[in-house]
Amino acid sequence: MPCLVTVGGFFGDEGKGKIIAYLAKKDNPSIAVRGGVGPNAGHTFAHEGKEYKVRMLPSAGLNPATRLLIGAGVLVNPQILLKEIAMFQADDRTYVDAQCGIIEQAHIDRDKGEHLNGKIGTTGTGTGPANADRALRTLRMARDVPELSLYVEDVSNSVNYALENNEKVLVEGTQGTYLSLFHGGYPFVTSKDVTASGICSDIGIGPKKVDDVLVVYKAYVTRVGGGPLQNEISEEEAKKRGWLEFGSVTGRQRRAAPFDFDLAKKANRINSATQIAVTKLDVMFPACARVRQYEKLPADARRYIEDIEGELGVKATLIGTGPELDDVIDRR
């Protein structure tokens, strides 16, 4: 920091929400700002036994000193946003860029059609059709929605001003590198670019403003919806390994596969990773559960992390070892 960009290295579901929530508590940033697509991405984190799921706000909501911003590139569903503002009692610290596009019911209806929801496996939240309308210049903007008037501002100005004054800014990406419209396995992708460069564009900061890029990987790979998944294992095998998971937005079962070094290497290059996080190590190695010091990890778990670091050439600075926000080994 002061400017850390966090993005997913696989197909989403890597545990970015937990990592962002931890960093917001540990580093106390002035601003957490969300880029990405919109409410089709759910980020989950737990604190003191309570689970939180956010689809619009940054995952930093538990830190009352952090302002919660949504960049211009993000699509907003006002109903979902207002519920999350109420959940975190964040009325006085939530700001939405005036240029955010608005998802209407018609977009949601179109997203549930045979091609998008049936063939591609979209979340049905309206983001693809809304981004299509944005490209056609027919989309309504946040500045046009009366119920958002208290929250509208120029987010790019706010973020750049904070950085110029050496304040800490935490940038949160959504989805994952291989769901990028440009770099994923088209057509089984989301409706825009979600790599680090795209996320910076969403919030309105130039590349020279970024100090670090943290790419988040899970200790194994999961994917929701259609599209290729190298070395995919069966549902029965996923259940046996403890890898059987369900999406936080749709509740659909996630497909699973072992850690993919080739995809991770490419994701690190595309995103210019300066550090990585590895989450759910405790699922791979149950003896790691809730361990918070690297030296206390079992030898096989340390070897696993060292193999990933050796292949990728980047240090794993954060390692997730449990569902709680503080179940993290911090090696920064």
Determine whether 242 is exposed, middle or buried from the number of CB atoms within 10 Å of its CB (0-12, 13-18, 19+).
middle
Q: What is the Cα–Cα distance from 214 to 208, expressed in whole angstroms?
A: 16
- State which amino acid sits at residue 156: S
DSSP code of residue 179: G
Exposure string (b/e) for 251-288, b if CB count within 10 Å is 16 or more? eeebbbbebbeebbbebbebbebbbbbbbbbbbbbeeb
Based on the residue annotation, tell me whether 13 is a catalytic residue of this protein: yes
**H helices present in 154-250, as ranges:** 155-164, 196-203, 235-241
Based on the residue annotation, tell me whether 115 is a catalytic residue of this protein: no
Look at strands 275-279 and 328-330 and give their pairing: unpaired
Determine whether 31 is exposed, middle or buried from the number of CB atoms within 10 Å of its CB (0-12, 13-18, 19+).
buried
Query: Phi and psi for 257 in degrees, rounded to 5?
Result: -160, 160
Q: Are 215 and 176 in contact (CB under 8 A)?
A: no
> Which residues are known catalytic residues?
13, 43
